Structure 1
Amino acid sequence: MTDSTLNPAEAPMARRESPHAGQAAAARLRARRRSERRFKAYGFGAVLLAIVMLVVLIGTLAGQGLGAFTQTQIAVEVNLDPARLDPQGTRDPKTLADANYTGLLTDIVRDNFGATQRRDVLKALGLFSRDARFELRDFVLANPDLIGTTQTVWLTASGNLDMLDKGWIDRDLPQAQRPVDDQVLGWYDALAAKDAVSRDFNTRFFTGADSRSPELAGIWGATVGSALTLFVCFILSFPIGVTTAIYLEEFAPKNRWTDLIEVNINNLAAVPSIVFGLLGLAVFIGFFGMPRSAPVVGGFTLALMTLPTIIIATRAALKAVPPSIRQAAQGLGASPVQVVFHHVLPLAMPGILTGTIIGMAQALGETAPLLMIGMVAFIADVPGGFTTPSTVLPVQIFLWADSPERAFVEKTAAAILVLLGFLIIMNAIAVLLRRRFERRW
């Protein structure tokens, strides 16, 4: 049939264009493509902005904190006077350990810096760390045969001199605005001219506990406290969270009570962490009388906070296992418990471990709940157990950030870098576990 045989009333209908063809459709297609390109550009810009902000954060912390990984040392000439160190000449270690090393340090500043007045002696002693006398003791105990000679000994510099050597103290400021005066600057310049100033790797930062002196402060005590606290948290939260999720997902009847429990678990995951700290303070310390500022109390408190995260992650991992696995096991005669523990749980374990590690990483970075249970105290020793007073890395960072000395600013940034390193490692382990054991159905 040709166009000439069409009914005249049907001719306009035949000439009408399809809504999916023609210039209008092409315009709509171009608009959709432009919209898609804009959306991709927005997404790429958001990712790029996040990367830039991360680089700025890490760069700022690195610029402020990398110096904490080194410590300034001062070389001085020490006259190991036998009359002061070992009057009897027995070389008995106990006698050498009990010698007057404070007096020996005073002799050092008089001989090396010409300090004769009491005020100058005290000022010259401020060039060294408060532990300088113990460093002298350790040197003598390690080298008793050198008593009676003059030796060059490297001693740890004070926090102010360390900041001066690293360039954080502006020498051009007026003396009243500097933490070191002109006389100390002169002594430092004289030491530097003799190559008696050096910067070495600061092992004390990784092996020491907290201290009032920034040059002596370290993160080992807080690291041990964090490890003990996370161990208690894991021992409590993992089995309780996983078994709760298994019951709710596999065995619990679907009724109002289970719906109420699920709603409350989801709500607990969004509760501010300080509320868990108040709960730990009221229940574990106030009611049960547990020791304040101890890893066992911190672990119990963080376990309460971590439980909702583990339960939700475990339920999601159980739901991801296909129903055909359960049906096949039941068809072969397995009981409901055998179905869950022999078939479903092993397949869901990668997701469970991932959620658990993420929850533990969140607990590692928490500060507010631990402040409420007293883990903000100054702890100068490495904790020796679960009930001894201790602190954790985030609280240690909080304490250092509140200190006025410039050297503690450097320590704070360095501790944040260490904490970020731990968090990155934990999250990387979670990703590797998921990729290594995850099965795609």
Structure 2
Amino acid sequence: MTDTTQAAALAAERTSADTVAARLKRRHAAERRFRAVGLGAVLFALGFLGILLTTILGNGMSAFLSTYVKVEASFDPALLGIEGAPTAETIAAADYRAVIRQGLARAFPEAQSRTEQRQLMGLVSSGAEADLRSMLRDDPALLGQTREVWLLANDDIDMAVKGHAPRQAGVPGSRLSENQLRWLSALEARDAVKTRFNTILWTSGDSRQPELAGLWGAIVGSVFSLTITLLVSFPLGVATAVYLEEFAPKNRWTDLIEVNINNLAAVPSVVFGLLGLAVFLNAFGMPRSAPLVGGLVLALICLPTIIIAARAAMKAVPPSIREAAAGLGASRLQVVVDHVLPLSMPGILTGTILGMAHALGETAPLLMIGMVAFIVDIPATPLDPAAVLPVQVYLWADSPERAFVERTSAAIMVLLLFLAAMNLVAILLRKKFERKW
């Protein structure tokens, strides 16, 4: 009887151990599957990110180079239409197109018909005239001399030299004639074609001609807009967070305010653009397409983020700090100003920079207030019409020319660089000033 009971107990123990082992095996298998799925999701996302960055880099790196063509330019006063001693007015009004036409005609005298001459002039950019004007204005002694000068090539020539367009007439994607392709090959054989760093991209505003389009106007507009955003949103956001966290009574009204602030952080940004259109432009009559209005709209977007981050940073300050300061006779305002704010400032600054980085990439609200206009001039003040980097990307992406594809990718690279720099600053501030309690 005893042996039978012991055998049954041993069998039950073995069954229980087998059941536990089976359950552990299934649990470990489920954990491995879950980790595999998580790792696969991460690798999948990294793969798409790699494809995106590779595409942007592949399309945009060539935008940092420009193609130039060497032409023999004769600064003949008769050809330029300058009579007598040159003055600033006569130099500005001179016919530099005739100089370019004559230089190209000397290089390719076989181009006789009007069609061929028009195609020949298509080798260089329309901005080449401005380059010659600047040369003669800076050095009037060039008048009457003949020099070999490097002139900016047309965007179609630029795409062909960089390999982005086929060098065969009549095929899809080619915008060059057989004559232009032949002349381009002849110039390359004479070492009269070269690429060099594209300074125009960093010194000019927008242009209808891709080879003359630059980012400087959009960069200045972004700096103006973000400066106004910071000046408006940071003090208002911090002051609101201090009041709600340290001074406001806990009742249904403050609860309603907190819920609305949290909801505003999730409102689509285009709604803020509609608000800016209705209030800042229509009601207050502020200038359209100006960084001032753009900065105010972006400040509305940043405010909820700054308030939430500031409140979280102040909540992280231990109550013992407040109690110790109050015990030494500090007023409530002194406790906040002298102790709570300095200790929570790293978190506040981190939240502010992240909010500003979010504002830098916004496009929809700025389109609503008219910052989608074609702006050539560089803005001098926040009241001047301007574009910003994300809107510039939007404008160039809508252009049909192939050369604007590389300009668009280059603008995205610059925008990502700014965003990465701002996030890096936020991380460094958090690491430098972070305290553990």
TM-score, normalised by the number of residues in structure 1: 0.93
Taking the aligned partners of 1:176 and 1:433, their CA distance within structure 2 comes to 52
2:168–2:174 contact (8 Å) kept in structure 1? no
Spell out the pairing of 1:269-418 with structure 2 (5 A cutoff): 269-418=265-414
1:149 shift after superposition: 3.1
In the TM superposition, what are the counterparts of 1:1-12 in structure 2 within 5 Å? none
Structure 2 unaligned regions, length at least 5? none
TM-score scaled by structure 2? Answer: 0.94
The answer to whether structure 1 residue 135 and structure 2 residue 131 are counterparts is: yes
Cross-structure match for 2:36? 41
- The Cα shift of 1:16 comes to 5.7
Aligned to 2:423: 427
Q: SS at 2:125's partner residue? A: coil
Aligned position for 2:55: 60
CA distance in 2, matches of 1:176, 1:169: 9
Tell me if structure 1 keeps the 8 A contact 2:71–2:100: no
Give the alignment partner of residue 251 of structure 1, picking from 237, 247, 251: 247
Change (3 A) 1:10 1:332: farther
Number of residue pairs the alignment of both structures matches: 436
**Contact 2:353 2:422 (8 Å CA) reproduced:** yes
Post-superposition offset of 1:89: 5.6
SS at match of 2:210: coil
CA RMSD of aligned residues (A): 2.4
Contact 2:81 2:95 in 1 (8 A): no
Residue 99 of structure 1 pairs with residue 101 of structure 2: no
Partner of 1:31: 26
| CA distance in structure 2 between the aligned counterparts of 1:177 and 1:368, rounded to whole angstroms | 32
After superposition, the Cα gap between the structure-2 partners of 1:32 and 1:9, relative to the gap in structure 1 and judged at 3 Å, is: closer
SS of 2:382's equivalent in the other structure is: coil
Higher mean C-alpha deviation, range 231-240 or range 330-339? 330-339
Residues 229/182 of structure 1: CA separation in 2 closer, same or farther (3 Å cut): same
Q: 2:118 aligns with which of 119, 122, 127?
A: 122
Structure 1 residue 323 displacement after superposition = 1.6
Offset at residue 316 of structure 1 (A): 1.1
In structure 1, distance between residues paired with 2:261 and 2:71:
64
Question: 1:5-39 deviations in whole A, cap 9, x for unaligned?
Answer: x9x999977996499x8333333333333333333
Unaligned 5+ runs, structure 1 = none
1:210 to 206, 219, 232: 206
C-alpha displacement of 1:79: 2.0
Q: Distance in 1 between matches of 2:57 and 2:101?
A: 37
Q: What residue number does 1:74 align with?
A: 69
Any residues of structure 2 matched to 1:174-185 within 5 Å, and which? 174=170, 178-185=174-181
Name the SS of the counterpart of 2:211 in structure 1: coil
Report how far residue 136 of structure 1 moved. Answer: 1.2
Q: Secondary structure at the match of 2:119?
A: helix
What is the identity, as a one-letter code, of the residue corresponding to 2:79? R
String of CA shifts for 1:402-434, please: whole Å, max 9, x gaps: 111110111001100110110011111111111
Deviation at 1:223, TM superposition (A): 0.5
Local SS of the residue matching 2:392: helix
Structure-2 residue corresponding to 1:242: 238
Deviates more, 1:140-149 or 1:60-69: 140-149
8 Å Cα contact 1:86/1:96 also seen in 2: no
